[in-house]
């Protein structure tokens, strides 16, 4: 920890303070440095780096991060990475929104969508005209109340044969007749 003699306080007008080497223990711990600002209407902002390794940005209202003004349209303009550990986005009293013309979520092992309700597609005025499910195995729990399972298992290709019975004299023989009976009840 820094001693009282190493503390430096720089005041830039009435709205900006830079402090380093302080000994006051704050909620995140002793600050190695703290940059604090306050607006005329009392809205506070600070950024700090604390003993023990926590680096923190605190904004009482909106925090806007903008980058990429000089990037090409194919460049990655903002990168958020963690060398070890998770990345968590947790709004305490709101929703999480991600927007763009194409959104790609990519996982090396597994992508998990967990919620009591999951909606895919527009609700109301919008229109979803295509959903592609691509995979070697697509599992739908047959015990669920999912009507999609029935629609996938008995698709339009099968229903096209509904009510047809192949003649035993057909070139396909009895196998075609059995197929007609199986698909006929759809």
pLDDT number for residue 151? 61
In whole angstroms, what is the distance from residue 140 CA to residue 143 CA? 9
Give residue for tokens 């947790």.
90
Over range 53-80, report the average pLDDT: 95
Structure tokens given for 166: 């192949």
pLDDT number for residue 161? 57
pLDDT in tens, 7-26: 888 899 889 999 887 777 66
34 forms beta bridges with: 19, 48
pLDDT number for residue 23? 74
Please say if the pLDDT value at position 103 is more than 70: yes
pLDDT number for residue 9? 87
Residues 165/159, Cβ–Cβ less than 8 Å: no
Whole-model pTM: value is 0.63
Over range 102-116, report the average pLDDT: 94
Over range 81-100, report the average pLDDT: 94
pLDDT number for residue 186? 38
Structure tokens given for 52: 């023990």
pLDDT number for residue 59? 96
Residues 27/35, Cβ–Cβ less than 8 Å: no
Please say if the pLDDT value at position 110 is more than 70: yes
Residues 23/4, Cβ–Cβ less than 8 Å: yes
Please say if the pLDDT value at position 42 is more than 80: yes
64-69: long-range contacts, CB 8 A cutoff, minimum separation 24: none
Residue 35 neighbours by CB under 8 Å, 6+ apart: 16, 17, 18, 19, 46, 47, 48
């Amino acid at each position: 920890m820094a001693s009282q003699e190493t503390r430096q306080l720089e005041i830039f007008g009435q709205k900006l303070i830079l402090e380093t080497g302080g000994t006051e223990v704050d909620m995140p711990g002793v600050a190695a440095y703290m940059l604090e600002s306050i607006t005329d209407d009392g809205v506070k902002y600070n950024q700090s780096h604390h003993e023990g390794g926590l680096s923190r940005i605190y904004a009482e209202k909106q925090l806007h991060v903008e980058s990429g003004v000089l990037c090409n349209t194919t460049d990655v303009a903002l990168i958020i990475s963690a060398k070890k550990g998770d990345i968590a986005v947790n709004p305490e009293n709101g929703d999480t929104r991600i927007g763009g013309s194409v959104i790609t979520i990519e996982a090396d092992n597994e992508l998990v969508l967990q919620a009591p309700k999951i909606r895919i597609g527009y609700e109301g005025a919008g229109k979803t005209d295509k959903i592609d499910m691509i995979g070697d195995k697509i599992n739908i729990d047959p015990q669920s109340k999912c009507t999609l399972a029935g629609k996938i298992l008995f698709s339009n290709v099968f229903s096209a044969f509904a009510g047809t019975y192949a003649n035993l004299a057909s070139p396909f023989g009895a196998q075609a007749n059995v197929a007609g009976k199986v698909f006929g009840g759809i």
